[in-house]
A and B are shown apart, each in its own frame.
Chain A
Amino acid sequence: MTRRIALALALLAYVGAGLSNSGGSYAALGLLDRGILLAQQTEPPSLRVYPVQGAVSVIAGAGGNVTVQNGKDGILLVDTGLAASSTRLTTEVRARFKGPVLWIVNTHLHPDHVGGNDAFAQPDAKKPLDFLGARLDGTQPLKIIAHSNVLARLCAPGTSGPRLSDAGLPRDEYATPFKDLRFNDEPVVLHHEPRAHTDGDTIVYFPRSDVVSTGDIFTPGGYPFIDVANGGSVSGEIAALNHILDLTVPGHTQEGGTYVARPRAHLRRSRRRGISRHGGDRPRPRPGRDQEGHDARAGAGRRAVARLRHRVRHRHEFRESGGFRRGDLSKSDGEVGTRLMRRMCAIVALVAGLCEGLTAQGPPGPPVPAPPKIGREGALVDFTGTWVSPVMEDYRWRMVTPLKGDAASIPYKQTVVAIINAWNPAKDEAAGLQCKAYGAPALMRIPGRLRISWQDDSTLKIEADQGTQTRLLRFTAGGALANAQAKPTWQGQSIARWEPGQAPTAGGLALGTSARWGNRSQSLEVVTTNLREGYLRKNGVPYSDQTTLTEYFDRFSEPDGQDWFTVTTIVNDPVHLAAPFVTTTDFRREPSDGKFSPVPCSAR
């Protein structure tokens, strides 16, 4: 029997050696020659941190073991344990290791391995929504990486996997046999193990530390767990275990390194057939003894066997009910026809791009509820608070009343020149039209502060201190105006919605099941009509009552912790403008509304 296989069997038979917890059943570490394997555990009562080797440590007790690689760049985690343990885990990681958590590798989709993603993906309380990691020191934002099958299954409608927030999903998925990273001056190699424990397994190899983190592929406490429902298979599991051997066990001509000579034998042959294929030096196993060493302890093997049988039976049932088999012909035509129709509908829906989870767009996102939530309930971004716009663009048209006739940058029609030149603020004051320059198409450009709040669950209120104006952005299910016949006003009637993703090909069905762009919207879209005619600028550049105003509000955070939003304002006036007039205005959140000081409109 070769050394490799002996080690493999030792590996599989390994129970409780290395580290063990008196209160739990986990067997976390096994040292094999130069390789070190980290395996999973059940649920120990408390978190414990064990240095392993090199830059790698392991935290036990959070559900699945959490591997930590820590160095000058920050922290890389392999798996994040159960959601229930996430608070303890984040506290422990931040207390015991230095630097930001910049990488999370999920070995597979089970809740005891991805459950803590959300906790780490949440922005630091001091720096909310700090997508860049709030640093200018060269570090990167948190990235969560897993094989693409993990992301696909986590996002699939009706998934049995845990529900993660958008930020907690492993969106930096990879789909290649392996992927290299470099972190903390060490290569980090992710190997995909196809259809093993699941169909999205990753094992993580740290060559310099000489450690392999195996996820649930290596389970020294019992038989491997094959999650057939999530794409696992016995053959893939065996192949994965052999791959771990390849990574960790030196070849017989190699001295101490991790180089592995071509395998001379694989477990598959001996395990499945019970026949030695490893050369004459290995005695033929006795019947019934092939599993010896795998039953870790009293009872453990029986549990594992029962679990394995359950999975096999489950797969069998799935195949019985899910496939078209010859046996179906014995069923009634109606029964077969119904099933066939359902399947055809599913296929047609999929082809037609109507199956949101698969075809909607982009990387598979969380299932989009239908109908979409509106108003406060559907808010993806919080715009409430007090905001100020530092005037860094169009300064001499915004901070002072522009000179008469100065309409630079506005694509107005030639016919408007006479109106511009006729501007007379005294006349406006006399007519009670001091607020002509404070209408919705111009309000965001006036230097001042905005106070944004929810008036009710379906109405977002924007109060502007300059001109003491109030805009009401109404979310309605059908997008209809509250009263289309109402008298036009400075602020008009605004219909708001959370901007949906880009629709499939306009005018037709999307062909095929190609992924699509633009599915992850977070913008607030506002369309305003029923406007009273007013001024785009205080010096009388006009817009008409035929104007339609479209706005997009987008919020972001900066590395210094400041929150901003940019509003893109598109003024479409067929009467006075030769083209849509598009401006963008940037607002920064203020810590309080202490500087919000309403003043009346002024025509000058």
Chain B
Amino acid sequence: MRVVLVALFLAMPAVPAWAQVDFSGAWASLYHEDLPERLPGPELGDYMGLPINDAARLRGDSYDADRISIVPEYHCRPHGGDYQMRGLSNMRIDPVLDPVTQQLVAWHTRMGFQEMERTIWMDGRSHPDDMAPHTWSGFSTGTWQNNMLNVRTTHLKENYMRRNGIARSVNATFTEHWMRHGNYLTVTTVITDSAFLTEPLVRSQTWVLDPGQRMGRDICEYGDEVPRERKDYVPNHLPGTNPFLHEVADWYGLPYQVTRGGAETLYPEYRSKMPKPEKPKLVCERYCNCGAAANAVCLLAPSPPPSGQR
């Protein structure tokens, strides 16, 4: 009888079963892919790897980064839900539990950048009506597929696919696939946007569990950083007038056409028909050791000023 009682006592902390994988905890992003784009930021005119259409190129070409400094609406714009996993930030994931049943109701993520938060509902609720408010993070629901968490997000406000002006529209939706293997978390993000993409944009990011991490607040304050010519002025480049679009091709010795992106450029067969670079280069001069042990934070190595177009 004592044995039984002891066993029952030990069993008392038992909680109902409720999910397949525990994602909770503090996570640090690994930037072992596209680090120069994700930390210091993408080069202007770099649309490589994006299955975009001409409308997206037009938006990208007209982009002037001064608008971040001048236009209040851009001052504190956080990443969209589809970019949060890719941007520069650490992350904390918390489960939201029903206090009575201890069932998982939602996953909640918080990023260490501009207070970005998301809730991924796991309780089977429907997505709201199309006319419901759109937000930076959108409305997310999740389902389990064995050890994979599949997330679907709708109701996004317009934002960017790349931080150099390539827009992502308000009609975009995205799915995510969260996979945990040991202390690694992989999130594959698939964005569908009929306005700016000709096929889904698929990117995957990796995180590593970082239990010692303490995330503070990251509050953005609005304020003009440079004088504004007119109150209604939005820095931009009219079509055909952006002088910086060739920089990336020149700096990295790439064909200009490749830097314009597009679905065709993504596939192996494109390599055989890739044009020759206008200004071939042999040796790396920019961000060469970004991410190495000696330059983990990706400082820009001194490089000669770009020639030509500027």
Contacts and interface: CB of A to CB of B under 8 A. Distances in A.
Contact of B50 (A392, A448, A564): A392
Give the size category of B's interface with A: 35 or more
Contacts of A409: 31-36, 290-291
Contacts of B188: 556, 564, 566, 584, 586
Given A393-B204, A404-B282, A410-B292, 4 more contacts: A145-B124, A403-B285, A411-B291, A560-B200
A545 interface: no
A582 B202 contact: no
18 contacts: A132-B150, A138-B126, A176-B101, A392-B51, A395-B49, A409-B290, A411-B296, A413-B292, A414-B292, A515-B14, A515-B18, A517-B19, A523-B181, A554-B148, A556-B188, A584-B186, A584-B205, A586-B202
B177 A554 contact: yes
A396 interface: yes
Contacts of B222: none
A385 interface: no
A513 B8 CA distance: 9
A408 B143 contact: no
Given A138-B127, A403-B253, A448-B268, A584 B7 contact: no
A554 B32 contact: no
Interface stretch (B68-76, B227-235, B236-244, B269-277): B269-277
Contact of B184 (A502, A522, A568): A568
A70 interface: no
A143 B35 CA distance: 39
Contacts of B48: 395-396, 399
B145 to A, nearest CB: 5
B147 A521 contact: yes
A410 B36 CA distance: 11
A499 B186 CA distance: 15
Contacts of A447: 267-268, 271
Interface string B289-305: 11111101010000000
B97 interface: no
A514 interface: yes
Most chain B Cβ neighbours within 10 Å, of A73, A393, A520 = A393
A379 interface: no
A117 interface: no
Interface in B239-295: 252-254, 258, 263, 265-271, 274, 281-285, 287-294
Nearest to A501: B147
Contact of A518 (B20, B126, B130, B145): B20
Nearest to B282: A404
Contacts of A351: 7, 10-11
Contacts of B57: none
Contacts of B226: none
A390 B146 contact: no
A408 B36 contact: yes
B230 to A, nearest CB: 38
A552 to B, nearest CB: 5
A363 interface: yes
Contact of B13 (A347, A512, A564): A512
A328 interface: no
B258 A166 contact: no
Contact of A566 (B30, B35, B179): B179
Contacts of B287: 406, 408
A517 B283 contact: no
Nearest to A568: B186
Q: In the A-B complex, list the 3 residue pairs whose CB atoms are closest, starting with the nearest.
A: A363-B17, A406-B284, A584-B204
Interface of A: 73, 129, 131-132, 136, 138-141, 143, 145, 148, 166, 171-172, 174-176, 181-182, 344, 347-348, 350-351, 362-364, 380, 388-396, 399-400, 402-414, 417, 447-449, 465-466, 499, 501-502, 511-515, 517-523, 525, 552, 554, 556, 558-560, 562, 564, 566, 568, 570, 578-579, 581-586, 588, 595
Nearest to B194: A136
B53 interface: no
Interface of B: 3-4, 7, 10-22, 30-36, 48-51, 100-101, 103, 124, 126-127, 129-130, 141, 143-148, 150, 152, 154, 173, 175, 177, 179-181, 184, 186, 188, 190, 192, 199-206, 208, 252-254, 258, 263, 265-271, 274, 281-285, 287-294, 296, 298
A582 B30 contact: yes
Given A175-B101, A176-B100, A520-B144, A390 B266 contact: yes
A216 B183 CA distance: 47
A132 B7 contact: no
B268 A396 contact: no
Contacts of B33: 393-394, 409, 583-584
B145 A413 contact: no
Contacts of B4: 347
Contacts of A554: 148, 177, 179, 186
A132 B294 CA distance: 44
A403 B283 contact: yes
Contacts of A344: 3
Nearest to B265: A399
A521 B296 contact: no
Contacts of B50: 392
A166 B145 CA distance: 10
Contacts of B51: 390, 392
Contacts of B294: 414
A479 B246 CA distance: 52
A400 B258 CA distance: 10
Given A136-B173, A558-B200, A552 B150 contact: no
A595 to B, nearest CB: 7
A204 to B, nearest CB: 15
Nearest to B35: A409
Nearest to B128: A138
A522 B274 contact: no
Most chain A Cβ neighbours within 10 Å, of B17, B100, B186 = B17
Contacts of B204: 393, 566, 568, 584-586
Contact of B291 (A140, A388, A410): A410
A392 B49 contact: yes
Most chain B Cβ neighbours within 10 Å, of A399, A501, A564 = A399
Given A132-B152, A399-B274, A407 B289 contact: yes
B293 A405 contact: no
A411 B206 CA distance: 14
